[in-house]
Amino acid sequence: MSRPAAAFVAFFTLFGATASSARADEPNTPAKSLETALKALERGAFDEAIDRLELLADQGFVHPDASFDRAVLYVRRARSQAARPGDLGRAAAALSETLLLRPSDEAAETALERVQSEIARKRAREGAQPVTVRPTLGRALAGILPEDVWAIAALVGSLVATLGLVVRRLTERSSSRLAGAIAAALGLGVLTIGASLTLAARHFRRVSDPAIVVVPEARLLDANGAPIVPKNGIPEHVAVPEGAAVEVRERQGDLAQVEWGPIRGWVSLGQLRLLARP
Q: How confident is the model at residue 143 (pLDDT cuts 50, 70, 90)?
A: confident
**Mean local confidence (pLDDT), 13-32:** 47
Q: Which H or E run includes 268?
A: strand 263-268
The CATH number of the domain where 252 resides is what? Answer: 2.30.30
Residue 133 within a domain: no
> 53 and 95: one domain?
yes
> 151 and 231: one domain?
no
| Per-residue confidence (pLDDT) for residue 263, from 0 to 100 | 85
Arithmetic mean of pLDDT over the chain: 83
Number of domains the chain contains: 3
> 171 and 112: one domain?
no
**Residue range of the domain that includes 212:** 208-274
Q: How confident is the model at residue 34 (pLDDT cuts 50, 70, 90)?
A: confident
Distance from the first to the final alpha carbon of the chain: 21
Type of residue at 240: V
Q: 188 with 161: CB under 8 angstroms?
A: yes
pLDDT tens readout for residues 244-255 = 999 999 999 899
> 28 and 89: one domain?
yes
| Per-residue confidence (pLDDT) for residue 4, from 0 to 100 | 45
Q: How confident is the model at residue 97 (pLDDT cuts 50, 70, 90)?
A: very high
| Per-residue confidence (pLDDT) for residue 184, from 0 to 100 | 92
The CATH number of the domain where 36 resides is what? Answer: 1.25.40.10
End residue of a domain, out of 125, 151, 167: 125
Residue 132 within a domain: no
Task: Name the pTM for this structure.
Answer: 0.76
